[in-house]
Structure formats: structure tokens, C-alpha cells
Amino acid sequence: MTEARRTLLKLGAGGLALAAAVDATKAVAQSAPNSQLRKVLDRGRLIVGTGSTNAPWHFEDDKGQLTGMDIAMARILAKGLFDDETKVDFTLEDPAARIPNITTGKVDIVIQFMTTSAQRAQLVAFTRPYYVEGAALLARPDADMKTYDQMRAAGSKARVSVLQNVDADTLVHQVLPDATVLQLDTQANVIQALESRRVDGATVDLSTVRWLVKQDAQKYFDAGKAWGTQLYGAAVHQGDPDWLQFVNTVFTVAMFGHQTDMYDKAFRDFFGEDPPPRHPGFPTI
């Protein structure tokens, strides 16, 4: 056993925390002078670009406070930076401003249900994904045809609404090849068609299905089908490996490590279910 190992064992939990704090200070001093990690720590607050109108990702609660899964990820990052989840300032932005606000330095990071893509990765650096989004089927719990299997068996008798798009029919027919598709101009109208019984199912985001079912299980039902995955990640400025690596480390520990309480609570609050269990042993992250 090395002398360093003996020292760590003698320190105990409290001593380990102190040692970690000292080592973190030294590590930051070794980071590149222009690294965002050093700038954020020196400033003492994190600046996050996000939105406020898209539940369950970022929206205002009954008290006018920002909440949502994106907001939770921002607070997880602030906790990792300062051991204080409140040390974060939110800059509200239109989705079109997400990349410009990163490239101009207006924000430290964008956490705004941003889909990772090769085209966007030419302009910003993406963190590890914190959610896998996809299309899903929303139904009514009181309907005769409410499960995916029932809709598929019904063939053309199954009516499904979807947001108007050049590929909208194709999206639905990937899983319901014979369904009758009703394209509508807004997401609200897609869901309203279901509520008014004009359709048997509504094609919306998986996160939307989970959120609506959690809000009112007497009104909404998860038909049990999701497909067409896409990755949601945060975005930071390119060319700063210290900052990107730090954010990735915080997210990974929050999702798979020994500090998962905040992530798990947010997942339950906004999606109505627990994350899959983590099993010690072979890594799956």
C-alpha cells in the first residue's frame, strides 16, 4: 500500500472532503488561463442559456419560478461547481439564439432541450446526452383503442394526429403503417384532436407523453410505443476541453455515480418515473 493510500484511509470522510477541496483548488489553477471553468469559478456564479415555455423541460411554476428538467441539469452543474445549486443565473433565449449566445460568450452553457447533431457540432461542443428523446403515442385512458397494439391491429381505422411536416406521415407510418394520419398546424392542436376524440392517438415527444400522463392520468394515457431516438445535450464553446470535461464529469456522476439524488428527483418530477436502476459492476454509461 502506498503512503498516499494510507493517508487517504486515515483521513476518513471529513478528511477526504477537505483533501478534495484543496486538490480542486490546485487543479483549477492548472487549467488553461482562458478556460471557462476558471472564469466561472472566479465569477462565483454560473450563467445558463435556456427557455421558459416548454414543459417539462423549462417553464415557470405556479410561483413564477423557472423549473423543468433543463433547469434541474443547470442546478446540478452549479452544485458541482460551488456545492450550491442556487448559484446560477438563467438567460432566457429563443431557440434560434442558442448557438449565437454560446459562440459570443453571452452564456457559459446552453441547457435547452438541444438536439445533438453533426451540423450543430461544427459550431458548438456538445456534452454527453442527459436524455434520449423520441416520438411516442399519447392516448386517452377511457378509449376502446388506447394501446399501440390495438392501434396497429385496427389498421386504417386507427386515426393518429401529428404536427404538420413534410415527413409527418412517414413518421407515423414507421410504427402504424396503415393508420389514417391527421396533420395539424400546432402541437396544441395535435393534442386537442385527441382530447376531442377526433383521433385515437397523438404523436408527440416521449417527454410530452410522460409529462402529460404524470399531470393527469385520468385524461392522458401512454400507449406504450416510442421510436425515432434523438439525443438532448448541453452545448458549450468549442476549443475548451477543461470546461467540457468538467461538465461531462458532473453530468455523468449525477446520472450514474454516487450523487444521483437531484437527477433522479427531477426525472420523477417531470417524467413520472424512476430512471433505470444502476448496477455495480461492468460500466454501462
Print pLDDT tens along the chain (285 aa).
444 444 444 444 444 444 445 555 555 556 677 899 999 999 999 999 999 999 999 999 999 999 999 999 999 999 999 999 999 999 999 999 999 999 999 999 999 999 999 999 999 999 999 999 999 999 999 999 999 999 999 999 999 999 999 999 999 999 999 999 999 999 999 999 999 999 999 999 999 999 999 999 999 999 999 999 999 999 999 999 999 999 999 999 999 999 999 999 999 999 999 999 999 998 877
Residues of the chain with CATH 3.40.190.10: 16-124+237-271, 134-230
CATH number given to 134-230 = 3.40.190.10
CATH topology of domain 16-124+237-271: D-Maltodextrin-Binding Protein; domain 2 (3.40.190)
CB 261 within 8 A of CB 54: no
CB 58 within 8 A of CB 113: yes
pTM score: 0.87
